[in-house]
Amino acid sequence: MTLRLERDGAIATLLIDRPRQHNAMNQAMWERLPQLVQEAMADDAIRVLILTSAAPGLFCAGADIHEFALHSGEENWRIANQAAIRSTQYALAHAEKPVIAAIDGDAIGGGCGLAIACDLRIASPAARLGITPAKLGIVYSLFDTKLLVDLVGPARAKRILFTAALHDAQEALAIGLIDQITPVPLEAATELARLMAANAQHSIRSSKAIIRRILDGQADDDAVTLAMFRDAFTLPDFCEGVTAFREKRRPGF
């Protein structure tokens, strides 16, 4: 099983488990990953999702280039592959719950694409990140490119794509490609996930939805976002938060 979802209380971990191929993603994996993301989103017990490698020292070396070479002449396969990769990136980027990438090793090409589609990225000192279509003569999709531009800005995105260079963890942190460096990324991601899971989930998910609207071009409130603000005062999370504040205790969301 090259992908699997494991649950531990309010935290789910989506594990990439193809170590002999450095977790390279084949077509079956691209098709399966969004299904597992959706499974985690549909589980009311799950509050945060972590994406990582089942084997230490790895994240994802990208798409399976051998499979690319084998099927490159088949238009139907290329269409299906493009759709599956887009579905994966979209599922991660638009997941209603927080998604954290724990990166212990190389995140290259499509592997870096997986990481930048997550909300936050925590990496080990050994991590390397890069997006390398320019070394293969292929084109990064507009959706994936926008995720990169949103994260690091257009000039740095151009440098990453035009050079196809690999960035070590310190370089990636300096340009905003990752958010934290730590010796054991999964432990740090789990600790962060627990902090998130303890807070008001309506607040977190609404904040994520509003940030996504901003990244997608919305510059001012509309009827939906105004209602999100107003309606929060009528929901159980607000009641519990205010009650806990008055009683000088931690809220139990």
pLDDT digits (tens, 9 = 90+) for 96-134: 999 999 999 999 999 999 999 999 999 999 999 999 999
What pLDDT does 239 receive?
87
Out of 136-145, 171-180, 192-201, least confident range: 136-145
What pLDDT does 107 receive?
97
Tens of pLDDT, residue by residue over 39-71, are 999 999 999 999 999 999 999 999 888 888 888
Tens of pLDDT, residue by residue over 240-251, are 888 988 989 899
Contacts of 231 (CB under 8 A, 6+ apart): none
What pLDDT does 240 receive?
86
What pLDDT does 242 receive?
86
Confidence of residue 1 (pLDDT cuts 50, 70, 90): confident
What pLDDT does 80 receive?
94
| Domains detected in the chain | 3-196 (3.90.226.10), 200-246 (1.10.12.10)
